[in-house]
């Protein structure tokens, strides 16, 4: 099987998969756009949309998709007959990435410039956001007739903002290390004040107005006074790249965790129905602890399973038997050994780019993998013909958690945590391996078809 993966045809498939990932990330400047794209993909494949606010009527042999708050998604496939169900197969990832969120009343005029008031979202590497073209994407809350509020996606698809560094002449010690203050050093430059004022006056006479608000209203094709709220984030305008001596690396924003979310949803949408109820969950807010109505620490997954059981006339015992007989794969990218700092990695568990699926272990239960669930994952990798690696933190370095152990508090199911190896995690742009997306997609195809 491994010799087959080395064939020229498979190598071409790997490259194509990487290119498609980068193209998709480029079309999803915010997590809202990513979830909308996934939902559309599922519906193209015949998944029937459900709404949490309405009654569910489900049928065996059908497939369904539901979103919560426009930013988390769960899709599931039902086998043809109840009697054939062996349990649940669940795969989960997250759609959010560290970035800056725009505050209410964001425009600030000072020193002849207009900047935007932003706050950090998640644990980002500040310096990577400076001196590069940025823009704004997310969603708007728009008032329609009779006071109805609707959500509308927006993308100011242009080079719009920059966070300028302080010149080294004004901080001679900069190369010895800078501690950035988010409120002082990381506010993006939006306009030169006189230019913004002149543009507004030329277009609207002497009418004053919020320039950003007008840009948003124009992009959304609504009147400015109809915009009552927003969830807007900065994003890096630089697209994804394939690089390396033999094109073996990816460079892209938001690899953590869209590089996992993409192959999970693609494999699930295209899979054939097996003997398990297969379910794919993409959660929001993993980067800030998952404690939201749509995060892994919400009741979203549990609610979907309970309502699915009710709509299919299952007893609570039957549903819990399927959960106990099931298996969950939590997919969130993992740290590869750094070429300039190999000492930061564990001495014997050292994932590398293009080395395949990374299975994560942690004795303090930050990851859900144990000896049994890890063995099952390794067996599944071997059946799929994809390589695997292992990740464990250095014993003197505390690790972060992911959505696997958090969701276990709501739906307790045998589980393993995995990821794809990457460098520069939480940078504005991150580095991954060209082959690894394909490895995960192939693994998920095998998992969902079981």
Cis, peptide link before residue 32, omega less than 30° from 0? no
Same domain, yes or no: 325 and 411? yes
Phi-psi region of 297 (alpha: psi -120 to 50; beta: other; left: phi over 0): alpha
CATH of the domain at 204: 2.30.250.10
Q: pTM for the full model?
A: 0.93
How many domains does the chain contain in total?
Answer: 2
Same domain, yes or no: 276 and 402? yes
Q: Which two tokens stand for residue 40?
A: 């559309």
Same domain, yes or no: 329 and 341? yes
Q: At which of 201, 236, 271 does a domain end? A: 236
Same domain, yes or no: 91 and 108? no
Q: At which of 170, 204, 236 does a domain end? A: 236
Residue 361 is assigned to a structural domain of this protein: yes
Residue 200 belongs to domain spanning: 100-236
Residue-level pLDDT, tens digit, the chain, 450 residues: 555 556 888 899 999 999 999 999 999 999 999 999 999 999 999 999 999 999 999 999 999 999 999 999 999 999 999 988 999 999 999 999 999 999 999 999 988 999 999 999 999 999 999 999 999 999 999 998 888 999 999 999 999 999 999 999 999 988 988 999 999 999 999 999 766 555 555 455 444 456 899 999 999 999 999 999 999 999 999 889 999 999 999 999 999 999 999 999 999 999 988 899 999 999 999 999 999 999 999 999 999 999 999 999 999 999 999 999 999 999 999 999 999 999 999 999 999 999 999 999 999 989 999 999 999 999 999 999 999 999 999 999 887 778 888 998 899 999 999 999 999 999 999 999 999 999 999 999 999 988
Residue 17 is assigned to a structural domain of this protein: yes
CATH of the domain at 304: 3.40.630.10
Please report the beta strands in 239-356, taking only residues with DSSP state E, as ranges in sequence order. Answer: 241-243, 249-252, 276-283, 327-331, 334-335
Q: What is the pLDDT of residue 197?
A: 59
Q: Which two tokens stand for residue 110?
A: 């000072």
Q: What is the pLDDT of residue 120?
A: 97
**Cα–Cα distance measured from residue 204 to residue 228, given in angstroms and rounded to the nearest whole number:** 21
Same domain, yes or no: 414 and 290? yes
Same domain, yes or no: 86 and 107? no
Residue 246 is assigned to a structural domain of this protein: no
Q: What is the pLDDT of residue 5?
A: 59
Q: What is the pLDDT of residue 202?
A: 43
Residue with tokens 């297969």: 278
Q: What is the pLDDT of residue 205?
A: 42
Q: What is the pLDDT of residue 4?
A: 56
**Cα–Cα distance measured from residue 226 to residue 415, given in angstroms and rounded to the nearest whole number:** 46
Secondary structure of 172-202 in HEC code, one letter for each residue: CCHHHCCCCCHHHHCCCEEEEHHHHHHHHHH
Q: At which of 185, 205, 236 does a domain end? A: 236
């Amino acid at each position: 099987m491994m010799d087959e993966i080395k064939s020229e045809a498979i190598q071409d498939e790997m490259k194509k998969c990487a290119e498609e990932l980068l193209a998709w990330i480029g079309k999803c400047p915010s997590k809202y756009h990513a979830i909308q794209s996934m939902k559309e993909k599922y519906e193209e494949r015949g998944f029937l949309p459900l709404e949490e606010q309405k009654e569910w009527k489900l049928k065996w042999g059908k497939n369904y998709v539901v979103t919560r708050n426009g930013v988390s998604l769960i899709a599931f496939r039902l086998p043809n007959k109840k009697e054939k169900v062996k349990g649940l197969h669940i795969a989960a990832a997250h759609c959010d990435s560290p970035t800056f969120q725009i505050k209410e009343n964001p425009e600030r005029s000072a020193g002849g410039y207009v900047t935007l008031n932003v706050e950090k979202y998640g644990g980002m590497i500040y310096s990577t956001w400076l001196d590069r073209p940025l823009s704004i994407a997310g969603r708007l809350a728009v008032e329609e007739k009779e006071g109805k509020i609707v959500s509308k996606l927006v993308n100011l698809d242009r080079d719009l903002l920059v966070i300028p560094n302080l010149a080294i002449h004004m901080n001679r010690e900069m190369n010895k290390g800078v501690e950035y203050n988010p409120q002082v050093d990381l506010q993006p430059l939006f306009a030169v004040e006189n230019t913004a004022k002149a543009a507004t006056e030329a277009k609207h006479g002497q009418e004053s107005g919020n320039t950003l608000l007008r840009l948003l209203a124009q992009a959304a094709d609504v009147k400015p006074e109809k915009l009552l709220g927003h969830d807007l984030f900065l994003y890096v305008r630089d697209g994804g790249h394939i690089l390396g001596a033999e094109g073996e690396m990816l460079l892209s924003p938001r690899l953590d965790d869209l590089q996992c979310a993409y192959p999970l949803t693609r494999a699930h949408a295209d899979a054939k129905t097996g003997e398990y109820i297969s379910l794919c969950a993409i959660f929001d807010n993993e980067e800030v602890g998952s404690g939201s109505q749509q995060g892994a620490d919400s009741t979203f997954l549990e609610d979907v399973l309970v309502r699915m059981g009710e709509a299919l006339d299952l007893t609570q015992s039957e549903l819990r038997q399927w959960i106990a007989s099931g298996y969950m794969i939590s997919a969130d990218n993992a740290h590869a050994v750094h070429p300039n700092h190999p000492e930061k990695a564990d001495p014997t568990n050292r994932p590398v780019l293009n080395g395949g699926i990374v299975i994560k272990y942690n004795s303090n239960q930050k990851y859900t993998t144990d000896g049994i669930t890890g063995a099952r994952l390794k067996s599944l990798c071997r059946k799929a013909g994809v390589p695997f690696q292992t990740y464990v933190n250095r014993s003197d370095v505390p690790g972060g958690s992911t959505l696997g152990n958090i969701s276990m508090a709501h739906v307790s199911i045998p589980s393993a945590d995995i990821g794809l190896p990457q460098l520069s995690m939480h940078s504005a742009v991150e580095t991954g391996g060209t082959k690894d997306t394909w490895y995960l997609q192939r693994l998920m195809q095998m998992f969902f078809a079981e």
